[in-house]
Amino acid sequence: MSHVGIVGGGIVGLCSAYYLHKAGHQVTLFDQAPIADGCSFGNAGMIVPSHIIPLAQPGMIAKGMRWMLKSTSPFYVKPRLNADLMRWGWLFYRHSTPAHVERSIPVLRDLSLLSKSLFQDLAANGDLAFEWKERGLLMLYKTPSAEHEMAEEADVANRSNVEARVLNGQQVQDLEPHTRVDVRGGVWYPGDAHVNPGELVRSLVAYLTKNGVTILENHTVTGFGKTGAHVTSVQTAEGSFPVDAVVVAGGAWSPTISRLLGLNLSMQGGKGYSFMLRNVANNVQVPAIMLEARATATPMGGDLRFAGTLEVAGTDMTINMNRVRGIVQSINNYYPEIKVDMPAVDTVWRGLRPCSPDGLPYIGHTHKFDNVVLATGHGMMGLSLGPATGKLVSEAVGDKVSSMDIKAFSPDRF
């Protein structure tokens, strides 16, 4: 049995701890903050095998430029003269090609499908207590241009064996019996699912703690002890912890952590916001992305969570209420009967999506060390891909045969 130190207690670190523990390793997980505070806690809760097209895709740059001009728009890059941002932007630009999209679709699909099957197992095997709903995902649109774009995406999905059904306004309404939906149409991905991420994270923490995994909250990792190409310890202000292997799962902070290992990981935090409407009488039934607004609606029990915006802002965690206003203002365009007021700032949650420049995660060993595995960069899909990543991490740490080919996710690929 080896002792594995995991840096980061988001969904990726927690799932890695789960599968490493199952594989018989002793695990210590470090987080700089209380775990219930991170990016994995207040997100939209969607499990999205439908998302097979990476963020870096043709047309994304032009779209981003248009959106950047409006303070309530869903996408924003905070202008900074910063070498990391410039390198990230250059790599993003270089990967916004049809060839990259074509290469990425099968690997993202396989990773997503692996994760979904692991979610189904986690929901049924009795280790965890969280609600798992398979009602699919609706991509809702109001404009002909979004309809055109979505029809193309649905076609790509169907050709890649991910089921997508193009619906007209009435067919969308038929899926939503309790509240009116005012849209031109939508694409329904019946294979998608949803969870309450906070409930899942809490349940994972409870299971891991009960089963002997050490979780050290408020322990910022500040360095690593090394002998040649081998990491020997994890260092924090509270002391040094000897380990046999290390997993870096620090979300948007992973570049800072990686720098402590001499690695230059390209990543930007993509800040997004969410807030919850409590006890909604006639609740939405199927999670949805309101396409033109780039905002989401996810039912969680009797509540309804709205989320959205992507501000490329490093690791800045301040809340910009203008962006939140953009989400609020868009909701009634799609769901005219849902009463929603501007939330108070202290009820708004924000998180940093760890965005790699090519839209693929980093999963696997780095050539610089024989016992360091990276698991980060999942962008908008970290919750969805958490279980598959955790499983692949446990296989990489244990030098076991991998459940899938992870070459495309190599942390050394740029």
Ligand X SMILES: Cc1cc2nc3c(=O)[nH]c(=O)nc-3n(C[C@H](O)[C@H](O)[C@H](O)COP(=O)(O)OP(=O)(O)OC[C@H]3O[C@@H](n4cnc5c(N)ncnc54)[C@H](O)[C@@H]3O)c2cc1C
Site residues for ligand X per CB under 6 A: 7-13, 30-33, 38-40, 43-46, 48, 220-221, 249-253, 257, 272-274, 307, 351, 353-354, 376, 378-384
The residue length of the chain stands at 414
* Nearest CA-CA partner of 375 in 353, 390, 387, 360: 390
Least gap, CB of 294 to ligand X (angstroms) = 11
d(C-alpha 246, C-alpha 151), whole Å:
44
Least gap, CB of 31 to ligand X (angstroms) = 4
Least gap, CB of 389 to ligand X (angstroms) = 8
Structure-derived torsion over alpha carbons of residues 303, 334, 50, 19, reported in degrees to the nearest 10: -20
Using CB atoms within 10 Å of the CB of residue 71, give its burial: 0 to 12 exposed, 13 to 18 middle, 19+ buried.
exposed
Least gap, CB of 170 to ligand X (angstroms) = 27
Nearer to ligand X, 44 or 265 (CB): 44
Nearer to ligand X, 40 or 104 (CB): 40
d(C-alpha 286, C-alpha 304), whole Å:
11
The answer to whether residues 350 and 316 touch, using CB atoms and an 8 Å cutoff, is no
Least gap, CB of 99 to ligand X (angstroms) = 25
Nearer to ligand X, 62 or 193 (CB): 193
Q: How many other C-beta atoms can be found within 10 angstroms of the C-beta atom of residue 227?
A: 8
Least gap, CB of 8 to ligand X (angstroms) = 3
Nearer to ligand X, 283 or 356 (CB): 356
Nearer to ligand X, 173 or 232 (CB): 232
What are the residues whose beta carbons fall under 8 Å from the beta carbon of 102, sequence distance 6 or more? Answer: none
Nearer to ligand X, 186 or 197 (CB): 197
State the amino acid at position 360 in one-letter form. L
